[in-house]
Amino acid sequence: MVLTVGEVHTGLLQHSTSLPPDDVAGILALVPGERVRRSTRPIPYAVSPEVLTGVDCPLATLSGRRAPGAGTAVSRALITGGHVLQASTRAVIEPASAGGRRRLPWSHYLTRPGVLEHRGAWSTDDLRDGFLAPTHAPDVLDLGAIATGLMDDLQLSRRLDAVRPFNTPRTRLRWAVVPPVGDGARRVELAVQDGTLRTLLLSGTPAEIPTIVELCEDLALHDWLLSTLLSLIDRAHVGGGSWARTLGRLRPAVDFLLHLWMPAARLDDGVLDVWAALEHRPGLTRQWNASVQRIRDQLAMATVTLLAREPAVAP
């Protein structure tokens, strides 16, 4: 059985303002001669050409045994709203197509871009659960390291002023797609592993993989937005300090985040059932809306308080 895995890292672009579209395209021009895909509706969004990274290392397994693997991983970068940078890396894991347990020359693997071949008999469940595990041994496949390297390189672009608008950590979405079983009902399992790592297990057909990749990138974006918004609210110490301090700490949410929340706006209809499942439980949009309303309530209360302090003007 074929297993598709990936990891998406999401963080704030190191630039003091929204990056202009031409600069976005310049940063994402990873491959000379290949175009950067851009759109402006419903929100500015751009995707780089894909790049390949050679991989020759053991694959993680839940059993702890090492599955020798070799091939290439596919990566791309995305910028949304001129503010949010993502790096997305993925690979299809398959049994070795030739040579059995023998490591083949690189020329063989380069003819199959985005495919990692494992040598030996390994179950899909063992490879899947090993990849999705929160921690990995240091010498096994680490798609996250590839994504991290891509993000770090892009943050060094001379088109950026390197001024961080506010401090917020990156988040990671590690995902795996397995073939449907039984009645073909979609499997959707999202887990929050810690403050920055989430794991997602989906079922899907090979034809759905391109749209599932976009789905995972969209989910990673909105998970980062929600996590960052909650962090800003927590750091604002609502009700525990002066209005000026509270509003100052909430201002980045208004300037950089609130207008970016548009889940599934660009997704194919074929994967909207996944978003429907996520909205049912854990209910990302419900939590987002409640948090946004809390910020707006703080702004309204601050306005009322300041108006009440103004001296009355004689008619």
Q: pLDDT exceeding 70 applies to what percent of the chain?
A: 95
Residue 314 has pLDDT above 70, yes or no: no
Radius of gyration for the alpha carbons in the chain, expressed in angstroms and rounded: 22
Angle subtended at Cα 50 by Cα 46 and Cα 55, rounded to the nearest 5 degrees: 140
As beta bridge partners, residue 191 has: 199
Residue 206 CA to chain centroid, in angstroms? 21
Residue 311 has pLDDT above 70, yes or no: no
Burial class (CB in 10 A: 0-12, 13-18, 19+), 2: middle
Between 42-51, 194-203, 228-237, 243-252, the lowest mean confidence (pLDDT) is in 243-252
Q: Are 189 and 201 in contact (CB under 8 A)?
A: yes
Q: Are 64 and 35 in contact (CB under 8 A)?
A: no
User: pLDDT digits over 138-159, tens only?
Assistant: 889 999 999 999 999 999 999 9
260 Cβ contact list (under 8 Å, min separation 6)? 43, 80, 81, 83, 84, 221, 225
The H or E element containing residue 297 is helix 284-309
Between 27-31, 78-82, 296-300, the lowest mean confidence (pLDDT) is in 296-300
- Of 123, 121, 119, 106, the C-alpha closest to 71 is 106
Residue 307 has pLDDT above 80, yes or no: no
pLDDT of residue 96: 87
244 Cβ contact list (under 8 Å, min separation 6)? none
One DSSP character per residue, 190-234 reads EEE-SSSEEEEEEE--GGGHHHHHHHHHHHHHHHHHHHHHHHHHH
- Of 267, 255, 252, 262, the C-alpha closest to 288 is 262
Instruction: Say how far apart CA 115 and CA 292 lie, in whole Å.
Output: 42
pLDDT of residue 315: 53
User: pLDDT digits over 97-110, tens only?
Assistant: 755 678 889 999 99
Residue 238 has pLDDT above 80, yes or no: no
Work out the end-to-end distance of the chain between its first and last CA atoms, rounded to an integer number of angstroms.
Answer: 82
Please report, for the chain, the start and end positions of each structural domain, with discontinuous segments joined by +: 3-204, 226-309
In one letter, which amino acid is 151?
M
